[in-house]
Amino acid sequence: HSNLEVDWSTESIVERRNRFYSASQRKFVPYKEPLILKRGKGQYVWDEKDQKYIDLLGMNLCISVGHAHPQVVKAATEQLAELTHCTTMFYHPVPAQYAEELAATMPAGHDWVVHFTNSGAEAIDLALLMARTHTGNIDMLALASSYHGATFGAQSVTGISGFRHPVPQLGGVTFVAEPNQYRGAHGEGVEPYLGEVERAIASSTSGRLAGMIVEPVQGYGGIVPMPQGYISGAFERVRAAGGVCIIDEVQSGVGRTGDAFWAFESHGVVPDIVVVAKGVGNGIPLGAVIAKRDVAESMADKFLFHTYGANPVACAAGRAVLKVIREERLQENARAVGGALKTRLEELKKQYPLIGDIRGQGLMLAIELVKDGTTKEPAPEAAIAVFEETRRNGLVASRSGPYRNVIRMCPPLCLSMADVEDVMDRFV
């Protein structure tokens, strides 16, 4: 191989993917025929045959401000050419300034500190370590349909069984049912779910908690927004048991839910630790743990080093993302355009009994497909059929949820009102 030419043929890609050892990388989801993507711009991507698609998935919610956003590209490429990496043994202004800018997005009146990682799961691992170090306790609470990542630590607090490997996981984790208002274990409302938190603390843990971790809107759990009163009620009980409160904003952050920059802000809580990734880097590997100084202080004299954490290229991209979200009013756009899309999806629900539920906020929306509206029996096969059809019509989508029957609609935050009409036309 004397040159770096790229081979775009489908056959060679299919064959070469056998070189990957994970089944999830070998098989092609969600489509029967592989979708090979070549370029992206804004809310759109193009395949190798130059067919255009609306990226309704935002490349797994990583693309926040839009594919190849000129300001992010400029910031990252200029930094790439100037100094590609500066190990954290030495100093560079870009990560320092970005840390300050991220801290400023957190609730006022607290002293927030930041540690950068390359991914969400790495940041989740650090948050778990910090909760245990700070409290000296072991027990953690997590939600039954949570997803927090694929590393060993993140897997241990991931409730969805399909994402946990059948090996002994890190111990001390108790799962409680999430208040899914459509098909939750305790029906509608918040109180029965808070009751379960209380019972779990009293009977399934030592009573002395390290903490609890919650996604304000569950992502892989099937776009399940936490109802008002749940996070605040659960965190109150966790703090009373000595635990720290961890919020996972990996999917729901950077204005995606429209109402707030971080989704937890709509719940009247101030977490102790906030984990961010995906949309903060607009596709560049970047994650962070943002914590109150007194909680993070427990780690101050301990070894904490991620080789590429605080990489200046990633942090330059991160700074540009924050700037673009403000300048282009993308949180406001997510609220307005997401609101319009949700209204249209609710109209669709009235026509199609296959649609059991429409949920989410801003541009974090979902359609849950069921065989029967009364029994709510999941219809994962229908989701696959919808994908094949919408792909032909020029939409990239994906499914989630423990039953794989939830179609996610989480596009870049620059989706326009005109795109909403296009999405609806292509959907039916």
Nearer to ligand PLP, 127 or 395 (CB): 127
Residue 347: exposed, middle, or buried by beta-carbon count in 10 A (0-12, 13-18, 19+)? exposed
Measured at CB, which residue is nearest to ligand PLP? 120
How many C-beta neighbours within 10 Å does residue 248 have?
A: 34
Does the protein bind ligand PLP through residue 273 (CB under 6 A)? no
Helix (H) or strand (E) holding 216: none
Nearer to ligand PLP, 47 or 119 (CB): 119
Nearer to ligand PLP, 248 or 419 (CB): 248
For 140, residues 6+ apart whose C-beta sits below 8 A from its C-beta are 128, 131, 157, 172, 173, 174, 209, 210, 211, 212, 213, 243
Does the protein bind ligand PLP through residue 251 (CB under 6 A)? yes
Cα–Cα distance measured from residue 153 to residue 127, given in angstroms and rounded to the nearest whole number: 10
Does the protein bind ligand PLP through residue 178 (CB under 6 A)? no
Does the protein bind ligand PLP through residue 254 (CB under 6 A)? no
Cα–Cα distance measured from residue 62 to residue 38, given in angstroms and rounded to the nearest whole number: 17
Does the protein bind ligand PLP through residue 219 (CB under 6 A)? yes
Cα–Cα distance measured from residue 206 to residue 98, given in angstroms and rounded to the nearest whole number: 39
Does the protein bind ligand PLP through residue 341 (CB under 6 A)? no
Does the protein bind ligand PLP through residue 92 (CB under 6 A)? no
Phi/psi for 38 (5° steps) reads: -110, -40
Contact in structure between 137 and 208 (CB atoms under 8 Å):
yes
Cα–Cα distance measured from residue 16 to residue 158, given in angstroms and rounded to the nearest whole number: 31
Does the protein bind ligand PLP through residue 117 (CB under 6 A)? no
Nearer to ligand PLP, 47 or 248 (CB): 248
Does the protein bind ligand PLP through residue 248 (CB under 6 A)? yes
Does the protein bind ligand PLP through residue 277 (CB under 6 A)? yes
Nearer to ligand PLP, 46 or 163 (CB): 163
Does the protein bind ligand PLP through residue 124 (CB under 6 A)? yes
Does the protein bind ligand PLP through residue 237 (CB under 6 A)? no
DSSP 400: E
In the complex, what is the shortest distance from the CB of residue 402 to ligand PLP, in angstroms, rounded to a whole number?
A: 14
In the complex, what is the shortest distance from the CB of residue 51 to ligand PLP, in angstroms, rounded to a whole number?
A: 27
